[in-house]
């Protein structure tokens, strides 16, 4: 557990960031969020957190406190969409990381960097398969170099298909479970990108936050994956919703599977407690509410 610390969460008004801010604040920490609200929302604000609007590329201009820990979650995080808007993906990810690292170095903060599990997709073949995946891979290498060059205290973590309350449910940044739930609510067919056999490790947001807290307290170095050990195809997940299914054409950068790397996180005492099938059963029972 992390107690009585000053903590900065970039992307703190987003899906994962808001849950992290809430948990950290509940533990009695002084929590700040830096978010440009490109995908974050004021609807995700939680009590006890100090919210700052701005880009990570100007972090030292916006943040006037010395954090003990920085959770850097505030980057562009969509694979397929990054082909359509590479400038947005690269500017967000590459444009902010050096300033965040310099801010962490200047303030002697521990940095927890949210990498991308695309780095391990299809035996590592997908780490450069999209503007998003490539930029996230490059950033992990730079974080490690700062550890080598400047003795920066850091840990790099990787999320696997996060689901739960506050997911984006509509528009081009919608995530899979929230999108399916939205269509269930409207009694519309579920859309699946072909072939539908691509495997994913669906991980509940509370399990993700459990892992992030442990890594923030004890983690050091790379390869702290946070993902459920059970693997499902997208089609298997869709079938649990008991809705009609329609297929969409295959898309670039859509990996077939991801190597799950949770050994170091489990050594800290983490393990997943929630099951995707139970979550979906509740959604179906309540008609998507």
Q: Where are the domains of the chain?
A: 6-285
pLDDT of residue 253: 64
Q: What is the pTM of this model?
A: 0.94
pLDDT of residue 261: 93
Residue of 209, 223, 234, 206 lying closest to 264 (CA atoms): 223
Measure Cα distances from 51 to 6, 11, 110 in Å: 14, 10, 20
CATH entry 1.10.3720.10 includes domain 6-285: no
Cβ burial, residue 250 (10 Å; 0-12/13-18/19+): exposed
Per-residue pLDDT of 87-129, as tens digits, reads 989 999 999 999 999 999 999 999 999 999 888 866 666 677 7
pLDDT of residue 135: 94
Which segments in the chain show pLDDT lower than 70? 121-126, 253-255, 288-289
pLDDT of residue 287: 75
Q: Mark out the alpha helices in 54-175 (DSSP H runs).
A: 59-62, 81-84, 86-107, 131-150
């Amino acid at each position: 557990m992390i107690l009585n610390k000053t903590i900065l969460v970039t992307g703190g008004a987003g899906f994962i960031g808001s849950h992290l801010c809430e948990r950290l604040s509940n533990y009695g920490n002084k929590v700040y969020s830096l978010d440009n609200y490109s995908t974050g929302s004021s609807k995700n604000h939680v009590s006890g957190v100090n919210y700052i609007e701005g880009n990570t590329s100007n972090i030292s201009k916006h943040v006037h406190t010395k954090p003990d820990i920085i959770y850097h979650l505030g980057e562009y995080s969509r694979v397929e969409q990054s082909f359509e808007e590479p400038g947005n993906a690269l500017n967000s990810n590459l444009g902010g990381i050096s300033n965040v690292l310099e801010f962490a170095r200047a303030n002697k903060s521990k940095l927890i960097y949210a990498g991308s599990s695309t780095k391990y997709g299809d035996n590592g073949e997908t780490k450069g398969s999209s503007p998003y995946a490539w930029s996230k891979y490059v950033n992990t290498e730079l974080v490690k170099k700062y550890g080598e060059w400047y003795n920066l205290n850091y840990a790099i973590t990787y999320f696997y298909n996060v689901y739960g309350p506050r997911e984006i449910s509509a528009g081009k940044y919608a995530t899979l479970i929230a999108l399916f739930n939205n269509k269930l609510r409207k009694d519309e067919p579920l859309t699946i990108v072909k072939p539908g056999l691509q495997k994913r490790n669906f991980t509940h947001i509370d399990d993700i936050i459990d892992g992030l807290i442990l890594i923030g307290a004890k983690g050091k170095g790379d390869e702290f994956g946070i993902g459920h050990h059970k693997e499902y195809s997208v089609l298997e997940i869709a079938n649990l919703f008991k809705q009609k299914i329609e297929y969409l054409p295959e898309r670039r950068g859509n990996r077939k599977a991801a190597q799950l790397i949770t050994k170091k996180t489990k050594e800290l005492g983490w393990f997943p407690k929630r099951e995707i099938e139970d979550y979906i059963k509740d959604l179906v029972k309540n008609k998507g509410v």
